[in-house]
A and B are shown apart, each in its own frame.
Chain A
């Protein structure tokens, strides 16, 4: 069939959009890699090995812990008869709404030397000083890994659970008929079949870990992200910051490649998932242990921290706090609404371009625009600074040359830079939702309007857009929430005196005064719950 459209304007603008989204990262990479070898040598002799080592150790620790948490809980929920299964099934998703830095702060507060846990222990056992007993120190690299794993494991849980539930039950039945017990067939068939999904989930966790800034910063664990932040804001050294960001970017690229490879294995899934599953029957004590394991994840990953926040909010809320909350909330809303709207418009335009245009390489703009998701916020911020900064100077020079007064840093010094960064980072989310919705429209619906005498514009406004409306709303909401939560890019790019909910909370955490922002923190968690509810609902429908 011929494609329905070959508009040159559409083609041109699609490639321009994709390119614009890509350019800052490219500029930064080129700048970083072509940075003087002297600079690299200096970094290598001083801090880079430590940063790299910490980053890699942290990544390894988080992935291992998250795998243990996620795969075990998914297996318990889908394959066994543990108690409270129905509730745990969705409760286990909730930690995803909890920013790691909040959990980190709350648990430090709780388990520190001066915190309530150690205080009670001391009074119970009559210990006098830290020399009398051993207690784990949470503000360490393993502690950071645990904090991150506690809130990131639901990625692994969710995708692994999905993989188990989508598996062709006839394969399991066949293995049973060939003489395997339920348990054996889980280990020999179900688990190996779920491997690609687990690998994809693990790489998502890895990407989130590499992008994390606030947790490690708070725990004073020096990783590449904190190094970029300090190098730029502390020493104002754009070149070195760029170089570090490039190193981080290369690490992320490896993860992206690994993820793509694992994704290729995902197509082995599906077929008859709806046949009833035979469960592994656990003994009562095993059921209890399994259930406790899952409950512990839910409690430590979500219920306990949210309760602590609520207690704080009740104890410390006042009018002043509320007015700060409102003003930062409005800032957050402003950037998130704009970013979500722009990202959705881009995703729609590129998604429909891919579907309807005759261009042989019509999938390329859409693919390029999705790349930004892998770029950590700190790296993205450096990319914006190294692209928009020079652009601003050039604009000012131009204005002066033309006899106008210089406009100042209109790009790099305004919320434009933040929104740009958010759009680059979260376009992939909007893309994913909208492209998969477009794929579900049967190809014949593209052609039916023409057979009824209706042209492409009519087809888009009367068929495609109405059918896509639910997906457009979901995509918008997902980007909106992610933008509300994004921290490092906002921290590095926000104009002077511009605070968002997340940057405000981060400041308070740094100053050990989260009590004053507890309400805002609860808001962030509540926003974070929205996509989980949505995701869970769409999963239930399948």
Chain B
């Protein structure tokens, strides 16, 4: 299967700022890619470069074996067959729903237009709003019009810029499921940008994490979730909390005890951070001889999965300042009080250590 979209060595410099650097990416037909990253990481610029609204300073963009942009050529946006759903939808306020959808297919005959638009209106449940103006619609309806309008010219690739940011939180999940089904129905290849990882988990087949103009990791959401490839990725996606450890040849030493390692690929005698997911942290109920208190409760909140506690290291127990920790997340049904001293330990599992620098 050849890739529908291939991006090679893409770099963009805007006013001496490197916004994207040496980015490689490829996507198969029908894939939905979720692009996450903090604001200013270059994800919207990447969308704009694919759409033709931003000029790359270097690199190649190919869609469906058609070269759109390299160092010498740049196909104008209107000839790229790339559709876009804008963050504010960019619907034309002076046109009706029907006319908005017809905008990009005005070259077709009236009959063809009508047939195609009717089909879209039916699928997107907009039939009765065909003659309405945009300001008469709700946010969700407006978004469906934007999707219908973008799909009408049958683009090869659909770009969505923070498509769910204007939607009420309660409706968001429902809408994401609905739109995902729709895109799958059209076998549409799509890239969407968000800063919310949960949207990616619900909506996308592939996930790309970006920071400072670079692609940090590109894989399926489940792989990234289980095996983040760097401190930055795990930290941005908030996959767990961090426990500082000293590594040596046989294992790792932390303020929550010693962790045995089978094989240590990381450099010994160095400070590393263990990624601790809530399920991997154990609250030892009985403070007995072998369960000395090693943490205290700093903060309590109530969640649907029980109590959520933030723990920090006990000052008296800190032997090495570098190993002290804070904001360690613990979910538990037990009722603890603020400043209470507890004993916690890390369940044995496949430990993931990271260095902060990479």
Binds B, one of A335-343, A441-449, A512-520, A534-542: A441-449
Quick one: closest A residue to B152, CB to CB? A452
A-B CB contact pairs (8 Å), 19 listed: A1-B53, A2-B53, A2-B54, A2-B55, A447-B77, A448-B84, A448-B90, A450-B52, A450-B77, A451-B82, A451-B83, A451-B150, A451-B159, A452-B104, A452-B152, A452-B153, A453-B79, A453-B104, A454-B106
What does the 1/0 interface line of A164-198 toward B look like (CB < 8 Å)? 00000000000000000000000000000000000
Q: A442, A450, A454, A455: which contacts B53 (Cβ < 8 A)?
A: A450
Q: How far is the CB of A229 from chain B (nearest CB, A)?
A: 48
What does the 1/0 interface line of A443-473 toward B look like (CB < 8 Å)? 0110111111111000000110011000000
Q: Which 4 A-B pairs have the closest CB atoms?
A: A452-B104, A444-B90, A450-B77, A451-B84
Q: A448, A451, A453, A455: which contacts B92 (Cβ < 8 A)?
A: A448
Q: A1, A445, A454, A455: which contacts B90 (Cβ < 8 A)?
A: A445
B153, A447: Cβ atoms closer than 8 Å: no
Is B298 engaged at the interface, CB distance under 8 Å to the other chain?
A: no
Is B78 engaged at the interface, CB distance under 8 Å to the other chain?
A: yes
- Cβ–Cβ < 8 Å partners of A466 in chain B: 94
Could you tell me which B residues sit within 8 Å of A by CB distance?
48, 51-55, 76-79, 81-84, 86-90, 92-94, 103-104, 106, 149-150, 152-153, 159
- Cβ–Cβ < 8 Å partners of A449 in chain B: 78, 103
Q: B51, B54, B88: which contacts A451 (Cβ < 8 A)?
A: B51
Quick one: closest A residue to B44, CB to CB? A1
B103, A467: Cβ atoms closer than 8 Å: no
Q: B48, B54, B77, B90: which contacts A442 (Cβ < 8 A)?
A: B90
Q: A2, A448, A462: which contacts B86 (Cβ < 8 A)?
A: A448
Q: How far is the CB of B46 from chain A (nearest CB, A)?
A: 13
- Inter-chain CA distance A502–B193, complex, in Å, is 61
- Inter-chain CA distance A467–B133, complex, in Å, is 13
- Inter-chain CA distance A296–B149, complex, in Å, is 58
- Cβ–Cβ < 8 Å partners of A448 in chain B: 84, 86, 90, 92
- Inter-chain CA distance A444–B142, complex, in Å, is 15
8 Å CB contacts to B: which residues of A1-17? 1-2
- Inter-chain CA distance A28–B159, complex, in Å, is 56
B103, A452: Cβ atoms closer than 8 Å: yes
- Cβ–Cβ < 8 Å partners of B159 in chain A: 451
What does the 1/0 interface line of A30-71 toward B look like (CB < 8 Å)? 000000000000000000000000000000000000000000
- Inter-chain CA distance A1–B19, complex, in Å, is 12
Q: How far is the CB of B143 from chain A (nearest CB, A)?
A: 14
B87, A444: Cβ atoms closer than 8 Å: yes
- Inter-chain CA distance A463–B77, complex, in Å, is 17
Quick one: closest B residue to A463, CB to CB? B92
- Inter-chain CA distance A449–B54, complex, in Å, is 16
Extra pairs beyond A447-B86, A450-B51 (17, CB < 8 Å): A442-B88, A444-B90, A445-B92, A448-B84, A450-B78, A451-B51, A451-B150, A451-B159, A452-B78, A452-B103, A452-B150, A452-B152, A453-B79, A453-B104, A453-B153, A463-B92, A466-B94
- Cβ–Cβ < 8 Å partners of B77 in chain A: 447, 450-451
8 Å CB contacts to B: which residues of A466-517? 466-467
- Cβ–Cβ < 8 Å partners of B87 in chain A: 444
- Inter-chain CA distance A452–B89, complex, in Å, is 13
- Inter-chain CA distance A341–B265, complex, in Å, is 76
Quick one: closest A residue to B77, CB to CB? A450
Q: How far is the CB of B193 from chain A (nearest CB, A)?
A: 14
- Cβ–Cβ < 8 Å partners of B55 in chain A: 2
- Inter-chain CA distance A450–B84, complex, in Å, is 9
Q: How far is the CB of A454 from chain B (nearest CB, A)?
A: 6
Report if A467-B93 is in contact (Cβ < 8 Å); known contacts: A2-B53, A454-B104. Answer: yes
8 Å CB contacts to B: which residues of A514-537? none
- Cβ–Cβ < 8 Å partners of A442 in chain B: 88, 90
Q: How far is the CB of B11 from chain A (nearest CB, A)?
A: 15
- Cβ–Cβ < 8 Å partners of A453 in chain B: 78-79, 81, 104, 153
- Cβ–Cβ < 8 Å partners of A463 in chain B: 92, 94
Q: How far is the CB of A448 from chain B (nearest CB, A)?
A: 4
Quick one: closest A residue to B48, CB to CB? A1
- Cβ–Cβ < 8 Å partners of A445 in chain B: 90, 92
- Inter-chain CA distance A1–B149, complex, in Å, is 22
- Inter-chain CA distance A137–B159, complex, in Å, is 75
- Cβ–Cβ < 8 Å partners of B104 in chain A: 452-454
What does the 1/0 interface line of A348-372 toward B look like (CB < 8 Å)? 0000000000000000000000000
What does the 1/0 interface line of A134-145 toward B look like (CB < 8 Å)? 000000000000
What does the 1/0 interface line of A308-321 toward B look like (CB < 8 Å)? 00000000000000
Q: How far is the CB of A358 from chain B (nearest CB, A)?
A: 10
Q: How far is the CB of A455 from chain B (nearest CB, A)?
A: 5
- Inter-chain CA distance A442–B87, complex, in Å, is 11
B88, A444: Cβ atoms closer than 8 Å: yes
Report if A1-B153 is in contact (Cβ < 8 Å); known contacts: A442-B90, A445-B90, A455-B78. Answer: no
- Cβ–Cβ < 8 Å partners of A2 in chain B: 53-55
- Cβ–Cβ < 8 Å partners of A1 in chain B: 48, 53-54
- Cβ–Cβ < 8 Å partners of B103 in chain A: 449, 452, 454, 462
- Cβ–Cβ < 8 Å partners of B83 in chain A: 451-452
A447, B79: Cβ atoms closer than 8 Å: no
- Inter-chain CA distance A454–B86, complex, in Å, is 16
What does the 1/0 interface line of A404-442 toward B look like (CB < 8 Å)? 000000000000000000000000000000000000001
Q: How far is the CB of A45 from chain B (nearest CB, A)?
A: 57
A447, B84: Cβ atoms closer than 8 Å: yes
- Inter-chain CA distance A451–B85, complex, in Å, is 9
Residue of B78, B89, B92 contacting most chain A CB atoms (<10 Å): B78
- Cβ–Cβ < 8 Å partners of A454 in chain B: 78, 103-104, 106
Q: How far is the CB of B47 from chain A (nearest CB, A)?
A: 11
- Cβ–Cβ < 8 Å partners of A450 in chain B: 51-53, 76-78
Q: How far is the CB of A76 from chain B (nearest CB, A)?
A: 36
Q: How far is the CB of A83 from chain B (nearest CB, A)?
A: 38
Q: How far is the CB of B118 from chain A (nearest CB, A)?
A: 18
A452, B149: Cβ atoms closer than 8 Å: yes
Quick one: closest A residue to B79, CB to CB? A453
- Inter-chain CA distance A451–B86, complex, in Å, is 10
- Cβ–Cβ < 8 Å partners of B88 in chain A: 442, 444
Quick one: closest A residue to B51, CB to CB? A451
- Inter-chain CA distance A445–B92, complex, in Å, is 7
Q: B51, B76, B152, B153: which contacts A455 (Cβ < 8 A)?
A: B76
- Cβ–Cβ < 8 Å partners of A444 in chain B: 86-90
Q: How far is the CB of B317 from chain A (nearest CB, A)?
A: 48
Q: How far is the CB of A535 from chain B (nearest CB, A)?
A: 23
Residue of A2, A451, A467 contacting most chain B CB atoms (<10 Å): A451
